Amino acid sequence: MAEVLLITGLVLGLFYFLFIRPARREQSRRRQDLNALRIGDEVLTRGGLLAKVTAVETPADGPMILSLELADGVVVRARTEAIAELLQPAQLDDEDDFDDDAGDDPPNDDDDELSA
């Protein structure tokens, strides 16, 4: 009888660590990513549409609502659940946020060959 309980406990523990725990971790990461959406982010909707976030509304009594620009002048509103993935984060406009080491790259000798 003790062997059956031990094997059952091991199987349940293995099931938890292989399936339940990674799924919870993924849900938590997805929730954080959706809450961090900001204006200018490019996203893919669950319907397969590529869009740019133009506004983010956070009503006190409900889920976050995004305004998504599908094309010039075509804006739709959607809940965050409609977002499948973040394709490209918005570019930073503040010059202080850019990497100061960007100009420290060594020159590329291939450029001289191309210009000749």
Q: Name the fold adopted by 38-92.
A: SH3 type barrels. (2.30.30)
Read off the pLDDT of residues 40-91 as tens digits, 9 standing for 90 and up: 899 999 999 999 999 998 888 878 899 999 999 999 999 988 998 888 777 7
Q: Where are the domains of the chain?
A: 1-35, 38-92
Residue 108 tokens, joined: 């590329």
63 CB-near residues (< 8 Å, 6+ apart) = 79, 80, 81
| Residue 49 Rama label (left phi>0; alpha psi -120 to 50; beta) | beta
Read off the pLDDT band of 25 (50, 70, 90): very high
Is pTM beyond 0.75? Reply is no
